[in-house]
Amino acid sequence: NDQSPNYPECEALEKIKQMECFQSLISEQLMMSISEANLVANAPIEASVVLRLKVDKKGIVRLVDLEVSSSVSEALPNLETTLEKAVAKLPQALPATKTNVGVYVATQFTLPIQISAQASE
């Protein structure tokens, strides 16, 4: 019955949909940051990267771990740095709450992101 981390835009939704909304907002922000970085692939790519994120007791979102295959790293050498910066720019969230005692708690979750790119000519 605990409350997962959230953004105000997701609070009005049913509890089961809130985490979906939260992850969707994070994904949109990250994809926007990747687009703005104008990364140029040196080989075609169709893969996913997995981010392990932590939302601390204050609602600050941090990158804990990043799973990127070597082929993705080779094709997009600046992707990891771009994702680290993008996560650092995420807005503060409402932290997870242990509802039976009413305290904020840190929580972690994984977020897969699909990367699709064509090599630059």
d(CA 34, CA 113): 11
Q: Is the pLDDT of residue 119 over 80?
A: no
pLDDT tens-digit map of 74-89: 888 889 999 999 999 9
Whole-model pTM?
Answer: 0.86
Kindly state the DSSP code that residue 6 receives in the 8-state scheme. B
pLDDT tens-digit map of 24-52: 999 999 989 888 988 888 888 899 999 99
pLDDT tens-digit map of 57-116: 999 999 999 999 998 898 888 899 999 999 999 999 999 999 888 899 999 999 998 888
Joined tokens for residue 66? 């990043």
Beta carbons within 8 Å of 2's beta carbon, 6+ residues apart: 96, 97, 98, 99, 100, 105
Provide the percentage of residues in the chain whose pLDDT is more than 70.
Answer: 97
